[in-house]
Amino acid sequence: MTKVHERFLKYVQFDTEADPHSETCPSSMKQLKLGEYLVDEMKTIGITDAMIDENGYVYGSVPSNMAEDTAPKLAFIAHMDTSPDLSGANIKPRIVSNYDGGEIVLNRDLNIKMSPESFDHLSHYIGQDLIVTDGLTLLGADNKAGIAEIITMAQHLILHPEIKHGDIKIAFTPDEEIGRGANLFNLETLNADFGYTVDGGELGEVEFENFNAATAKIKIHGTNIHPGAAKGKMKNAILIAMELHGMLPVFDNPAFTEAYEGFNHLNDIHGNVEEASMLYIIRDHDMKKFEAKKAMFKEIEKFLNVKYGEGTVDIVLTDSYFNMREKILPHFHLIENAKTAMHSIGIEPIVVPVRGGTDGARLSFMGLPCPNLCTGGHNFHGKFEYIPIQSMEKTVELLIEIVKCYSNWTA
């Protein structure tokens, strides 16, 4: 049986960076290469119905082995793409064996180091084996670790028929990192009653609350005149962009927020005097505060267009996903069974709100209640991303225990 970290190290060799500027699905065709590889691997381990559809979604199942099957059809879901925040190409992972608790040199040439002074959670993993980056790319544990854990769980169930279970459904999605992971998800093909995304962080995390999320795409139209003759004529789009940002509350910023506190995050800005563009992500767990944040952007748009002329500022707000709490509470057995499974294998549950989103949030509103589970990783989307091998192995155990919980469960 292939070890979970060996699978993971294979998967990160596939560059699956999502492209937020593309209109296709998947947004980057290179995601299909990993999807096709996963289908072949799933068939090799005995998932005979593994397939990839025309949009790059991968599906498969492990059929029930129970004579009287009263268990719900349970899905485990992860995403194949990586964040466009940092390159996902040419990833060179390294295993730091028997971590000693000190500073880890990621890249000696560039003097890139990771230390417990900056990341205190490193101290939790003394004596364990950490997979780290070379300081030039992200690692891809978000979410290839989840894929590796799900497939390893499935192979274990196939090789151990003495473990009784209902129908286990598997799906891997493209483009989760750019908010489109559930756009073309086929719930009929999946055919599940309940699900879990395996897309969280630290070992023990279980999440059923997430941000309400939107994007604000902003175009600012200026007028470029030679600065020597610009008086009364020039309209500098860059300066208007700066003014717009200055009108937002200073502390509604991810650098100043935690837990249930929302934010407006300037993710992207480009421009010159003639034209500027800005991209904000807007987040809040509280729906009223979320709507107020969006309304503020429209008020700023109105004010600047009065000041500088109609059509100067154009803001397009697009909702991405909503807080899944209301969809999970009627099916709270999903959380209770996850916690029971954790306790049974010595994991302390960490129930926290997601300061982000998962495919599970969208899927929950589409009719598949789907909270989120840990993968074991840390520092996603950046060069300091890492994951302990032991946390991946324990997550595989967790998924198997959840399956066992549902083999004896009735609605």
Q: Which residues are catalytic?
A: 81, 176
Task: Please list, in sequence order, all residues whose beta carbon lies within 8 angstroms of the beta carbon of residue 280, skipping any fewer than 6 positions away.
Answer: 215, 216, 218, 264, 265, 266, 267, 297
Question: How far is Cα 108 from Cα 122, in angstroms, rounded to an integer?
Answer: 20
Matching residue, tokens 């999502």: 18
| Other C-beta atoms lying within 10 Å of the C-beta of residue 86 | 16
Determine contact, residues 392/5, Cβ cutoff 8 Å: yes
Question: How far is Cα 332 from Cα 348, in angstroms, rounded to an integer?
Answer: 18
Question: How far is Cα 358 from Cα 88, in angstroms, rounded to an integer?
Answer: 19
Question: How far is Cα 17 from Cα 83, in angstroms, rounded to an integer?
Answer: 6
